[in-house]
Amino acid sequence: MTEAALPAPVTAPAVDRERLTAIGFVLPSFVIIAGVFALPLVLLLGVSVVDANGLTFAHYKRLLGTPYYLGVIWNSLRLGLLTTLIAFLISYPAAFALARARGALRAILLATLFLPLAASVIVKAFAWTILLRSDGIVNETLIALGVIEDPIRMIFTETALIVGAVNIFLPFMILPIYAIVAQLDPRYAEAASTLGASPVVTFFHVILPLTLPGIIAGVALVFSLSVSAYVVPTLLIGEKYPTLATTIAKAYLLAREPGFGAAAGVVLLGIAIAVVALSARLSREPK
């Protein structure tokens, strides 16, 4: 009792000051996020459920009840999932190679990763259309080599879309994984091996769980970028592969249906949030 009475008055102000400092640090970003993101989101949500006659769920019924729009949602999901999966499969070993590289090689590899980030998505997507066109470099080369006689249709296929998306979003997968792998103490793997774990067991029970935070970050980034990509599907596949993002653009720019566009936006956001939240959950409970 006496113990409890003594320290309390001494420590209480210190804690309060700490808390105040913390609030002080968070406040500016809180204001910005609240103003720039939260407010528009609330408006978006409002527009999607309100029309001239009051509250309505018609837009959502149309989105989730029409086969065409279910197809659109599926296209977005497919784009997001395939891009994320392929980007992960390429990035994971690449991150280890990058972490193992030394000196000039490492600098060059990192530069090739960072430099494309400086170019706009539109430029990169256009570059892919130039490469993949019927009279593009890839087809011309294959014809010149005698591999094929007539140009293969590459542009405006799903393959072109995924190849382009993977290429453009790849750094967002490699960098977070690399950041974790570069910090990974080789002693963990050595300790596992002396405890009897084969390289394969060590990989699945030690390396993979320890690099999971990087994977989660990469997956969250690449999925939310690719599921909502607008420029990439527009330029690389076009009309025949409508996604939520292109549907939103159409609703606002052509059809003048802001309510429907808002609803599509909410669905898209919901998908992205669901995946990111799921990832975060997985990273907290590795076992």
Partner 1 sequence: MSESSPHLVVRGVSKRYGPTTVLDHIDLTIRRGELVTLLGPSGCGKTTLLRAIAGLAQPDAGKVELAGRDITNVPPHKRNVGVVFQSYALFPHLTVAGNVAFGLKVRGTAKREIDTAVERALSLVKLGHLASRRISALSGGQQQRVALARAIAVEPDVLLFDEALSALDRKLREEMQVELRRLLQDVNATAIFVTHDQDEALTMSDRVAVMNKGRIEQLAEPRELYLRPASLFALNFVGLSTRIHGTVLAASDGKVDVETKVGRLSALGNFQAGSPVIVAARPEQLRLGEQGEANSAAGRVRSVVFQGSRTLVEVDAGAGESLLAELSGRDGAIPRVHDEIRLSWPVTETFAFPMEALG
Contacts to partner 1 by CB under 8 A: 185, 187-188, 190-199, 201-202, 205-206, 209-210, 212, 286-287
Nearer Cβ to partner 1, position 211 or 226? 211
Question: 3-state secondary structure string, 89-153?
Answer: HHHHHHHHHHHHCCHHHHHHHHHHHHHHHHCCHHHHHHHHHHHHCCCCHHHHHHHHCCCCCCCCC
Nearer Cβ to partner 1, position 197 or 269? 197
Nearer Cβ to partner 1, position 205 or 281? 205
CB of 103: closest distance to partner 1 in angstroms? Answer: 16
CB of 199: closest distance to partner 1 in angstroms? Answer: 8
CB of 77: closest distance to partner 1 in angstroms? Answer: 30
Please name which of 270, 230, 229 lies closest in space to residue 60, comparing C-alpha atoms. Answer: 270
- In this structure, which amino acid lies at residue 9? P
d(CA 34, CA 30) in angstroms, rounded, equals 6
C-beta separation of 256 from 216 below 8 A: no
Nearer Cβ to partner 1, position 240 or 287? 287
Nearer Cβ to partner 1, position 54 or 196? 196
C-beta separation of 154 from 139 below 8 A: yes
CB of 208: closest distance to partner 1 in angstroms? Answer: 10
CB of 195: closest distance to partner 1 in angstroms? Answer: 4
